[in-house]
Amino acid sequence: MTEVYRSRSKQVVQVFMLSALVVGGFLMPAAAGAAASKPLNLVTSPLPISLSVPPGTTVTTDLRVKQAGPDTERLKVTLMKFSAFGDEGKPRLLDRALGDDYFDWVKFDKPEFDASSNVWQSVKMTISVPKSAAFGYYYAVVFSRTGDDKAPTGEAQPTAAYNGGSAVLVLLDAKVPNAKRELGLVSFTTQHRIYEFLPSAFDVKFKNTGNVHAVPHGNIFILSGKKQLASLDINDAQGNILPGSNRLFPLEWQDGFPHFEKVTEDGKVKLDKKNQAVMHMVWSNGGAGAGEVSPHLRFGYYTAHLFAVYDDGTRDVPMEATVGFWVIPWRFLLGVLLVIVLIGAGVYAATRGAVRGVRKIGKRR
Amino acid sequence: MRWPSRSVNRLVIAIGLTLGLSAQFIPLNALAAVGFQNAYIRLDRMKINTATGGTVCAQPASVATEGKVLVTFPSTYTVNATATNWTVNTSPIPAGSTIWPGITTATSATSPANVVTFGSGDLTVGILYCFNFAATSTLTTAVGAASSQQASVGTQTAASVAIDTTLVALANISDDQIVVSAVVPPSFSFTLGGNTDSFTTNLDPTSTVSTTGKTVTILTNAKGGWIAWAKDSQQGLRSATAAYTIPVAGTVNGVPSTLSNGVEGYVLDTDLTTDAVGGCTLVIDPEYNGIGTASGGTLSAAFQPIAACTGGTANSDVITLIERAAISGATPAATDYTDTITVVGAGNF
C-alpha cells in the first residue's frame, strides 16, 4: 500500500514538473522578448535660436546635443514647426503639413548619428532662404533616439511605449521691407479686486497683429496714491510673441507684510490633492522687500500702471494701461472689531450693573 | 711740559688694547639696533603703479619698550604724506601671528623719504606681531616692474631710540591678477524615465487599470521656462493580432475624461510630481490633469501641450505620465495591446 502510494506520489510530482516546464516554456520567450524600459536623457543647447536674414541668403547655425545615459545611443534629427494657439497663446508643436515648403530649405549635416555618453555633439542646421521668403518661419528641431517610435513587442502586459524627444526652437525672420512688427495690449487685469494679503496677481496679455515675431517688455508700477511702491518686470525672459497669436504674462506683487508664500519641502513646492501649491502666511516682507527689517504693511487702494514697449523695427512703441485693486486684511480687522465690541459690551455691562446697583441702594434709602 | 714716561705710555697702550679687544665681546644689541627675528611686508597688490594696502609683521629680537614702528618703503614707491590716511586694522592677520598691540594710525608719513611711522605698544620678544594698513590714498607701487626693492621695518622707543630694524625686499610685476572666465551655455535637459510602461495587471472589464508611470525630469536655465507636448500614434491601445483598438476616451476640450468600468477607454494622466523650488511655476495642462485613478486627457494624433513651466528656470521639475485604460466584456482578447506616445520637451520661446 505504501509502495503504491509512493509510486503515485512520484508520478504526480513528475507530471507537475513537466507541466511547469511546458507552461514555463510558453512564458519564457515572451518574458525574454520583452525589452527593458530604457531611460533617455538628452541635453540640448542653445535654447530658442533667433535668426534674421535677408531672402536669398543661406544661414547656418550649430545645434548641440548630449545624451547623458550610460551607453552610446543612436540619435536622429526630426524637423517640425511650432506656433501658438488659443486665448493665452499656448505653444503648439506641429508636424509638417501640406504647403510647408519651408521645411525643404533646411538641411542637417548629421540627420542621424551615434552619440557617446556625455559627449556634446554638434549638428549644423543650414537654411537656404529663397528670394521669395518673407516674414517669420518657426522650426522645432527634435532630437530623439532611433527605434523608440516602434511599438514594443513581447510584453507580458499591455504596454505603452514612449518616444521621447528634446526640441530646439528656431525662429527665422526673413527680413523684407514690408515686414510688420506690431503688438497690441489685449488686456491688463488683476486676478482679484480685493486681496486680504499679498501677493496680488496680474495678467498681461499681448497680441501680435503683425507678420513677424516681436518681443514686448516693460514694467508694472504699483502706486499708492502718487507714491511708487514697486516695479515688476514684464517679460524679462525676452519671450517672443508669434504672428497672429496671444501671449499671457502672469506677474505677482509679493512685497507685503505679512504675505502668502508657497510651502516647500525638500526643495519641492508642496501640492494639495488638486495639484495646487499649498500656501502659508509668512510674517516678513516678501519679494523685493524680503530681508528688509521694516514691515511693508499693505492696506488700502492701490493702482497698477502698466508701461510696456516693443521695437517695431524703427522705434519703441509704447503701450499703457492701469488697473486698481484693494488690499484689506479683513479677517484681522474683523478680529480687532470683535475685540472692540467685546470690550465695549463688557464696559457697557459693568456700567449698567453699577448704575442698577446705585439705583437699588438709592431706593432702599 | 714733559712727555709722560715710557712706562706711562706703555700703560696707556695696554689699556687701549684691552678696551679694544673687550669691545669685540660686548653684545651687539647693547650698542645699536639689531634685526628682528622675523619681519616682512606683504602688500595687497604687486602690480606696478597700483594703489595698495598691506600687512606689516615683525617678531622682536630685543628687549625694550616699543613706542613706534617705522616702515620705510622703497624709493621707487609713492608714499602719500598725509599721515591720517594711513589707518590701520588688525583683521585679518596671517595665521599664527598676534595682533600688534597698541598699533595706531600713522603719526607721520614722509615723502620722498617714504618713511611711515605708526604708534606701537610694547612688544614681547619672540612673538610675531602683525597689522594691516589701509589701501586708500596711502601707498602706490613702483611705476616699473622690479624685484628686490629695499624696504625696512623698524621699532623705536617713544624717545625714538632704535630697537630692532630689518631690511626687507619688495617686488613688482606688470600684472598680479588672473581673470577667470567661464561660460554657462543656455541648455535644456530632458530625461524620460523609460521608453516602455506596462499596465500593472491585465486589463479587466470590472476595473480601470493603470500603468506604473514614467517620469519626465526637466532642468533648464531658460528664463522663460519650458513646455512639454505629447501625441499618440494610433489614438488607442492597438492589438495587431486582434486587429482591434481600445479607443481613447473623450475629446481634447481642456477637461480630463473619466473612464467607467466596463466601457472601453484609454487616457493619459499627467501628474505633477515635483515643482522645484526657486524657479518657474509648473502647471499641468487642464486636459491631462486627471483626478483620481480613472481620469486623464484625450490622446491625439497631433501634439498637445501636457505641461508648461513659466516665469523662470527649472531645477529638476518632474512630471509623471500614467496611462489608464478600461475595457468592456466584449473587448477582444489579445496579448499584444500596445501604443506609442511621443513626448517632446523644449525650452520656451
Residue among B214, B303, B325 whose CB faces A94 most closely: B303
Residue among A30, A151, A155 whose CB faces B198 most closely: A155
Per-residue confidence band for B33, with pLDDT thresholds at 50, 70 and 90: low
Mean pLDDT, residues A208-222: 96
Cell of B209: 487599470
Q: What is the pLDDT of residues B284-308, one digit of tens each?
A: 999 999 988 999 999 999 999 999 9
> In percent, how much of chain B has pLDDT > 70?
91
Is pLDDT above 70 for A29? no
User: CB distance from A153 to chain B under 8 Å?
Assistant: yes
Residues in chain A closer than 8 A to B341 (CB atoms): 160-163
Q: Which of A118, A144, A157 would best serve as a mutation to test chain B binding (most B beta carbons within 10 A)?
A: A157
pLDDT of res. A275? 73
Q: What is the pLDDT of residues B83-114, one digit of tens each?
A: 999 999 999 999 999 999 999 999 999 999 99
Interface predicted TM-score (ipTM): 0.79
Are the beta carbons of B228 and B218 closer than 8 angstroms?
A: yes
CA distance B156 to chain A (A): 50
Q: What is the pLDDT of residues A59-98, one digit of tens each?
A: 999 999 999 999 999 999 999 999 998 888 888 999 999 9
Report the mean per-residue pLDDT for chain B: 92
pLDDT of res. B117? 98
pLDDT of res. A276? 79
Inspect the interface and report whether the beta carbons of B338 and A155 lie closer than 8 Å. yes
Q: What is the pLDDT of residues A284-304, one digit of tens each?
A: 999 888 888 899 999 999 999
pLDDT of res. A27? 37
3-state secondary structure of A125: strand
Is pLDDT above 80 for B76? yes
Cis bond before residue B101 (omega within 30° of 0): no
User: Which residue, A190, A85, A143, A97, is CA-closest to B285?
Assistant: A85
Q: Measured between alpha carbons, how far is B296 from B341 in angstroms, rounded to an integer?
A: 14
Residue among B190, B196, B275 whose CB faces A161 most closely: B196
Q: What is the pLDDT of residues B195-230, one digit of tens each?
A: 999 999 999 999 999 999 999 999 999 888 999 999
- Concatenating the DSSP letter of every residue in B189-231 gives EEEES-SEEEBSS---TTS-EEB--EEEEEEE--TT-EEEEEE
User: CB distance from B241 to chain A under 8 Å?
Assistant: no
CA distance B337 to chain A (A): 5
Is pLDDT above 70 for A13? no
pLDDT of res. A17? 46
Residues in chain A closer than 8 A to B300 (CB atoms): none
Residue B158: phi and psi, rounded to 5, are: -60, -25
3-state secondary structure of B339: strand
* Number of C-beta neighbours around residue B4 at 10 A: 10
Residues in chain A closer than 8 A to B185 (CB atoms): 45-46, 64
Q: Measured between alpha carbons, how far is A91 from A106 in angstroms, rounded to an integer?
A: 22
Are the beta carbons of A209 and A184 closer than 8 angstroms?
A: yes
Inspect the interface and report whether the beta carbons of A163 and B342 lie closer than 8 Å. yes
Q: B277-289: b or e for each residue (b if 16 or more CB lie within 10 Å)?
A: eebbbbbbbebbb
Dihedral sign, Cα of residue B219, residue B277, residue B275, residue A257: negative
Inspect the interface and report whether the beta carbons of A167 and B310 lie closer than 8 Å. no
DSSP state of A104: G
Residues in chain A closer than 8 A to B194 (CB atoms): 37-39, 162
pLDDT of res. A126? 98
Interface of A with B in 280-339 (CB under 8 A): none
User: CB distance from B255 to chain A under 8 Å?
Assistant: no
Interface of A with B in 64-83 (CB under 8 A): 64, 68, 82
Inspect the interface and report whether the beta carbons of B349 and A48 lie closer than 8 Å. yes
Q: What is the pLDDT of residues B124-153, one digit of tens each?
A: 999 999 999 999 999 999 999 999 999 999
Angle at B277 between CA B274 and CA B282, to 5 degrees: 50
pLDDT of res. A30? 37
Is pLDDT above 90 for B7? no
Is pLDDT above 90 for B13? no
Which one-letter amino acid corresponds to residue B268? L
Residue position matching grid coordinates 522645484:
B276
pLDDT of res. A264? 84
User: Which residue, A149, A280, A290, A124, is CA-closest to B342?
Assistant: A149
Inspect the interface and report whether the beta carbons of A48 and B222 lie closer than 8 Å. yes
pLDDT of res. A10? 54
Q: Measured between alpha carbons, how far is B342 from B216 in angstroms, rounded to an integer?
A: 12
Per-residue confidence band for B246, with pLDDT thresholds at 50, 70 and 90: very high
Residues in chain B closer than 8 A to A94 (CB atoms): 302-303
Give kind and range of the element (H or E) at residue A115. strand A112-115
Q: Measured between alpha carbons, how far is B119 from B70 in angstroms, rounded to an integer?
A: 9
Q: Which residues pair with B119 in a beta bridge?
A: B68
Is pLDDT above 90 for B77? yes
Is pLDDT above 60 for B22? no
Is pLDDT above 90 for A365? no
Mean pLDDT, residues B164-190: 95
Q: What is the pLDDT of residues B254-288, one digit of tens each?
A: 999 999 999 999 999 999 999 998 889 899 999 99
Residues in chain A closer than 8 A to B232 (CB atoms): none
User: CB distance from A254 to chain B under 8 Å?
Assistant: no
User: CB distance from B195 to chain A under 8 Å?
Assistant: yes
Residue among B222, B310, B341 whose CB faces A160 most closely: B341
pLDDT of res. A205? 97
Lowest mean pLDDT among A19-33, A274-288, A324-338: A19-33
C-alpha dist (Å) from residue B209 to A35, A274, B28, B196, B200: 22, 21, 99, 16, 7
User: CB distance from A94 to chain B under 8 Å?
Assistant: yes
User: CB distance from B193 to chain A under 8 Å?
Assistant: yes
Residues in chain B closer than 8 A to A161 (CB atoms): 195-197, 338-341
Residues in chain A closer than 8 A to B223 (CB atoms): 236-238
